[in-house]
Structure 1
Amino acid sequence: MLFEHATRNLFFTGKGGVGKTTTACATAVQLAIAGKRVLLVSTDPASNLDEVLSTPLGTEPTSVRGLPTLFAMNIDPEAAAAEYRERMVGPYRGVLPDVAVASMEEQFSGSCTVEIAAFDQFAQLLGEPSTTQDYDHVIFDTAPTGHTLRLLTLPSAWSEFLEENTSGTSCVGPLAGLQKQQAVYAQTAEALRQAQTTTLVLVSRPETSALAEAGKTADELRELGVENQHLIINGLFEATDVNDPVALAMQKRGQSAIAEMPESLQSLKQRQIPLSARAVMGIDALAQLGSAEESVQPTSDGELPTSDLPASFGPLIDQLSAKSKGVVLAMGKGGVGKTTVACAVAVELAQRGHAVRLTTTDPAAHVAATLAQDALPNLTVGRIDPGEETEKYRNEVRAAAGDGLDEQGRALLEEDLRSPCTEEIAVFRAFADAVAEGEDGFVVLDTAPTGHTILLLDSALAFHKEVSRQTSQVSDSVENLLPRLRDPEFTNVLVVTLPEATPVHEAAALQEDLLRAGIKPTAWVVNQSLLPLTVHDPILKQRQLGERKYVDEAVEQSDHRTHLIPWLIEPPTGLEGLRQVAESSNPACC
């Protein structure tokens, strides 16, 4: 069992793609088998609990097939927002004039309403014990690190904002609805800090970047007063064939990453889970996770057709290089390698003589580490720093709107600028400015994980209105962002994924969101694939065989615009390492 002495509440968090859902589901299944009554909740906008548990789920607790004491549910942010809006506006329909009701609906149209509504449901589960009193354990499968930290800080952030705001309104509309929840939010914050009842489980892969992210998370959680932390290192590989260079390199990379893990993680209770030969799906597989060695089915080379693999990464670089300017967006689920793809594209375009600006909107900001401080003519590297952009935005709003206000008016303006939504507005505007730079050369953006990225894209008009509410000065970059993103000659969206079930399915969902927004992806990039390689280790051979199904799905979803990057023996960092990405062409590729 993954947790012999589990606390009542368990949170699973970590960098995207490390296996939070798998380990959370395995823990829930194993506790239920041990006779405990368990509620498993996903707060991830891109949840795949249904797929892993083989049970259709909704927003209410649903019994999991085969385990009558295990219940699971998804917190759907959009559904929660719709319910929240109607709860706030509904009582006034037919009472107030239509124009007043329309004004209220407009107040609740922003992205902040989605976030606070989802948190509102989360707080009900954690902050009101009566809602989960029928369960021995409540397990939260949380979203990627940046979202999780924001979720965990919201109790104190919104509580402070409610205490200081005297105007009665905010970017999420009238505060009366939020004030009613203030006591629940305070209880939620306290529940997170109680070591006797709550454990924060940091999940990581045995990779340097994932462990670094986990270390940063551990420090930030301690600052929030969350001390009871546990570390799971998921997918640790041990080679069984000493003549397989890929297997030996994979084993060495994992061991090195663990040996050099941040000090903040070394003192934590730790559990290592071996790399599984197959995708961990269904009750039986989840029940066995972390226990005895799984059986590995023998495979033969004849089972793995390789003559029709998707095109290698090089031709995609050629396609992009044929354009003289524009924006390249590397998008996808966290942990799939967006940073590597973005850096490789930027390096190759710069080497071909193009002026390239590489920047990131990712709070984790791994670009500098990937480039390893190397310099290259024609290439400049930057970052959209949320703190700097927020302060810059606040100062501009004060200068533009504060001079003509009296003391009370300036006080109201300061209250508005202290809203937790202000940072999102500031980062959005910086994102628009970065896209605008594509008019003068190439701009390559290493974007945030899927949920945050879609929030930025889908909320363009809502943010535009929010900016206009605080200042009449709306920049050209904001005005022209959506037309630029919808222009296939200007914007090139690369959907990055891994040859695994969840990343491919979430990439398909991302593509649907983009298409609804009028943005057509240029291509899909399947990263870290074993398919083009010759491997002998039985676990790697079985994983290689399992990849084919998901690569075929990617090819179909992308309308045969899929490109493959093989798993590289040398990590793709620094200029030389990134050159491998573009040069790792598969001779059998079409």
Structure 2
Amino acid sequence: MYPLFNPNKAVLTPFLFFTGKGGVGKTSTACATAVSLADQGKKVLLVSTDPASNLQDVLDVELTNDPIAIPSVNNLFACNIDPEASAKTYRDKVVGPYRGKLPDSVLSTMEEQLSGACTVEIAAFDEFSHLLSDEDVLNQYDHVLFDTAPTGHTLRLLQLPTAWSGFLDESTHGASCLGPLSGLGEKKELYAKAVESLSNPEKTTLILVSRPDVSSLVEANRASSDLKDIGIQNQLLIINGLLQTHISKDKVSTAFFERQRNALNEIPDTLKDIATFSLPFVSYSLTGVDNLRNLFSHNPVTVMGNEAANKETIRLPGLSKVIDDFSSKNIRVIFTMGKGGVGKTSIASAIAVGLSEKGHRVHLTTTDPAAHLAYTFEGSVLRENLTISSINPEIEVEKYQQEVLSIAGEGLDEEALAYLKEDLESPCTEEIALFRAFADVVEKSENEIVVIDTAPTGHTLLLLDSTEAYHKEMSRSTGDVPESVKKLLPRLRNPAETGVVIVTLAEATPVLEAARLQEDLKRAQIDPKWWVINQSLYATDTIDPVLKGRARAEIEWIKKVKEELASKCAVIPWLHEEKIGYDSLKEFIDA
């Protein structure tokens, strides 16, 4: 369908940025590419700025902020830059001057406001910039590969003149999760040079990595368009994990193969204009140099593990136990949370159906723009005790932005207004806008169980957990703090009232990101009740050698969830078909 990607044959620029949604295989693809280029005799530096990076696990070597030689690969050097540590330094620099001058509650709010994804990304970009702008790096290495690329939002902010003025020090609009960038004013020239290098097609290639599924293709398309808009035109797309063949008598193998092909038939039109390659779905875990080299050999390798591992059995309950637990304890608010593409919407829908079947009145809602509950329940007659709705992020964010602009935008000059508008495009702005909508929906829990697909993060909850923050983020638009908002956080923290379900896959990145999410929630004094491992090949009876090999690779991550991360854990096998409709969703419960 697409030619296989091979770095030996591709014409690659000095800088290679790998980007894509979590779990698509950015790190393994970047590592395999780095090993292949080094094997050709090229001197290569591999850099990760992902806070949840598993780069050292893939290369099987301890890494630090400083590049070290990889013992098993001549010419390959790697470093694992910690943007969280860089973000802490940035926070200290921003907040430091106010210590002893402002109340502790205000300082706490400032620190939490600077704990969001945008601040971490600015800190990561600081690290990118040194490497992109340092001529010694280009002289020392033939290729520098970055595992994780900066987003279009961050790059656009850095291109706006107002970002480097004192505007944020003086502004009271409060929407920024970046803080006063003027604190890094001395780096303006460095950042400008870095952005220029990113836009130079002779220096930089953006490699979009996607799985052959709808959600990751949509994310790749968004990233592609967003980065093209700020000048990064040199792009290529890698469809990772494409099952090459299937066994017709194996229902799992056949369904897996057909579902991937159906997703690729729906690939967004703008991605069709980008040079596209594929990488095969392999039976082995992409860790260790030998396995990384196998990826580009394109020779079928089946790794079934040792005999003891093959006989190992891990027993976990199914989703029915989760539903029984919530029903017996009369939990009133249930959130499903996790990274994109793990199946939160399906799990939330199945939980709602299961509780409805037990006679509870249930309201199901979502804020995920890609999760169409109307589609999930298409063609089915809802039971009278189940209702569904959707919180539209675009509508909520636009309403919130207009409210802020009407108040904070008055009297600003053109540059300051441009900055304010771009700042209001940040992920944190969306969370704050949706927070109010959540509060209204959760109010329904006094009369029915509310199941919500996709919830506010611990960062957002902490950001709003003070009188000052509530007033700053809410009352500026509404004139006062709604009663539903005041009651929301105490309600979410009450384990007798609220249950959080973390949904993951039995793979490295989804589990590591889910672990970070859980820590974030615990900081906000919310303790998830259940983890659900979704789409598990280990829990199927597949006989396909490739899928069976991958099932063995899941054991490590199932054990980590069961033994280290979750107080209660359930598993759902990889199901042969997408579950559409009320009765079909019940199959999740019985799986």
CA distance in structure 1 between the aligned counterparts of 2:285 and 2:260, rounded to whole angstroms: 19
Distance 1:199 1:15 in 2: 18
Q: Which residue of the partner structure matches residue 280 of structure 1? A: 286
**Residue in 2 aligned with 1:383?**
391
Deviations 1:406-425 (A, max 9, x none): 9689x999976764465453
Q: Call closer, same or farther: CA 1:509–1:72 in 2, change over 3 Å.
A: same
1:565 CA drift (Å): 0.6
CA change 1:162–1:432 in 2 (3 A) is: farther
- When structure 1 is superposed on structure 2, of 104-113 and 537-546 the one drifting more is 104-113
**AA aligned opposite 2:134:** S
Q: How far 1:322 sits from its partner (Å)?
A: 3.6
8 Å Cα contact 1:324/1:354 also seen in 2:
no
Q: 1:342 aligns with which of 337, 345, 348?
A: 348
Whether 1:122 aligns to 2:125 is yes
Q: Which amino acid aligns with 1:289?
A: L
SS in structure 2 at match of 1:289: helix
Structure 2 CA distance, aligned partners of 1:414 and 1:154? Answer: 10
**Correspondence for 2:40:** 34
1:504 equivalenced with 2:511 (yes/no): yes
Aligned to 1:16: 22
- Residue 499 of structure 1 contacts residue 551 of structure 1 at CA under 8 Å; is this kept in 2? yes
User: What SS is found at the alignment partner of 1:109?
Assistant: helix
Structure 2 CA distance for aligned equivalents of residues 418 and 164 of structure 1: 16
Q: Report which stretch shifted further, 457-466 or 261-270.
A: 457-466
Instruction: Please identify, of 186-195 and 96-105, the stretch whose mean Cα deviation from structure 2 is larger.
Output: 96-105
Q: Indicate the residue corresponding to 1:231 in structure 2.
A: 237
State whether structure 2 residue 541 is matched by structure 1 residue 539: no
Higher mean displacement: 246-255 or 348-357: 348-357
1:324-360 per-residue CA deviation (whole Å, 9 max, x = no partner) reads 5522222223332223212322333345554444333
Residue correspondence of structure 1 range 198-347 to structure 2 within 5 A: 198-239=204-245, 241-297=247-303, 304-305=310-311, 309-322=315-328, 324=330, 326-347=332-353
1:49-98 Cα deviation digits (max 9, x unpaired): 222222223334344343353333344343222211333455x5xxx993
Give the counterpart letter for 2:537 in structure 1. Answer: L
Contact 2:133 2:190 in 1 (8 A): no
Structure 1 residues 368 and 424, CA, compared in 2 at 3 Å: closer, same or farther?
same
Q: Choose 165-174 or 194-203, whichever is displaced more.
A: 165-174
- More divergent stretch after superposition (351-360 vs 11-20): 351-360
Question: Given residue 465 of structure 2, which amino acid in structure 1 is its aligned partner?
Answer: L
Question: SS of the counterpart of 2:561?
Answer: helix
**Comparing 466-475 and 530-539, the one that deviates more:** 466-475
User: What SS does structure 2 have at the residue aligned with 1:78?
Assistant: helix
Alignment partner of 1:580 out of 557, 564, 587: 587
One-letter identity of the residue aligned with 2:491: R
Amino acid at match of 1:248: T
Residue deviations 1:472-510 (CA, integer Å, cap 9, x gap): 733334433332222112221112122234433443443
Q: How does 1:467-478 map to 2 (within 5 A)?
A: 467=473, 470=476, 473-478=480-485
- Corresponding residue SS for 1:176: helix
Alignment match of 1:109 (pick from 99, 111, 114): 111
Native 8 Å contact 1:124 1:184 kept in 2: no
Name 1:141's counterpart in structure 2.
147
Which secondary structure does the structure 2 equivalent of 1:290 belong to?
helix
Q: Could you give the per-residue CA deviations for residues 338-386 of structure 1, whole angstroms, max 9, x where no partner exists?
A: 232123223333455544443334465565654558663522221341x
Rounded Cα–Cα distance in structure 2 between residues aligned with 1:412 and 1:122: 23
Do 1:164 and 1:415's aligned partners in 2 also have CA atoms closer than 8 Å? no
Paired position in structure 1 for 2:532: 525
The residue aligned with 2:491 is: 484
2:100 maps to a residue whose letter is D
Instruction: Tell whether the 8 Å contact from 1:75 to 1:122 is kept in structure 2 after alignment.
Output: no
Select 2:501's aligned residue among 482, 488, 494.
Answer: 494
Structure 2 CA distance for aligned equivalents of residues 332 and 201 of structure 1: 25
Deviations 1:104-162 (A, max 9, x none): 9568424346533542441452475117433322222227xxx8443444434x54554
SS in 2 for 1:46: coil
Of the candidates 84, 89, 94, which is equivalent to residue 90 of structure 2? 84
Between the aligned partners of 1:97 and 1:330, the Cα distance in structure 2 is 38
TM-score (norm 2): 0.83
**Which of these residues, 194, 203, 219, is aligned with residue 200 of structure 2?**
194
Amino acid paired to 2:497: F
Q: Deviations over 1:222-241 (max 9, x none)?
A: 33333222111111113453
Q: Which residue of 1 aligns with 2:452?
A: 445
Listed one character per residue, the Cα deviations across residues 500-550 of structure 1 (whole Å, up to 9, x for unaligned) are 344334434433443343222211111111233222221222222333343
Aligned partners of 1:417, 1:358: CA distance in 2, in Å? 33
Secondary structure of the structure 1 residue equivalent to 2:354 = helix
Q: 1:41 to 1:329 in 2, by over 3 A?
A: farther
Q: Report the CA distance shift for 1:406/1:519 in structure 2 as closer, same or farther (over 3 A).
A: closer
Instruction: List aligned pairs for 1:337-376, cutoff 5 A.
Output: 337-362=343-368, 364-365=370-371, 370-371=376-377, 376=382
Shift of 1:178: 4.0
Output the CA distance in 1 between the equivalents of 2:21 and 2:411: 45
The aligned residue for residue 433 of structure 2 is 426
- Counterpart check, 1:150 vs 2:187: no
Deviation at 1:398, TM superposition (A): 7.1
Taking the aligned partners of 1:527 and 1:268, their CA distance within structure 2 comes to: 32
Q: Classify the secondary structure of the residue corresponding to 1:242.
A: coil
Distance 1:57 1:319, change over 3 A: same
**What is the CA–CA distance in structure 2 between the aligned matches of 1:369 and 1:226, rounded to whole Å?**
35
* Preserved contact between residue 327 and residue 492 of structure 1 (Cα < 8 Å): yes
Say if 1:327 and 1:490, in contact at 8 Å, map to a contact too: yes
User: Counterpart of 1:241 in structure 2: which amino acid?
Assistant: I
The change in CA–CA distance for 1:406 and 1:273 in structure 2 (over 3 A counts) is: closer
State the secondary structure of the residue aligned to 2:527: coil
2:187 to 164, 181, 187: 181
Separation of aligned partners in 2, 1:104 and 1:35:
55
Q: What is the letter of the counterpart of residue 232 of structure 1?
A: I
Between the two proteins, the alignment pairs up a number of residues equal to 569
Q: Is the 8 A contact 2:333 2:445 kept in 1?
A: yes
Tell me which amino acid in the other structure corresponds to 2:18: F
In 2, distance between residues paired with 1:28 and 1:117?
25
The aligned counterpart of 1:99 is: 101
Quick check: 1:168–1:174 contact (8 Å CA) kept in 2? Answer: no
Q: 1:455 to 1:21 in 2, by over 3 A?
A: farther
Q: Is the 8 A contact 1:159 1:185 kept in 2?
A: no
> Does the 8 A contact of 2:112 with 2:462 survive in 1?
no
Letter of the 2:128 partner, please give it: L
What percent of counterpart residues are identical?
40
- The answer as to whether partners of 2:65 and 2:81 remain within 8 angstroms in 1 is yes
* 1:23 positional shift: 0.8
Q: Matched residue of 2:256: which SS? A: helix
> Within 1, Cα distance between the matches of 2:156 and 2:379?
33
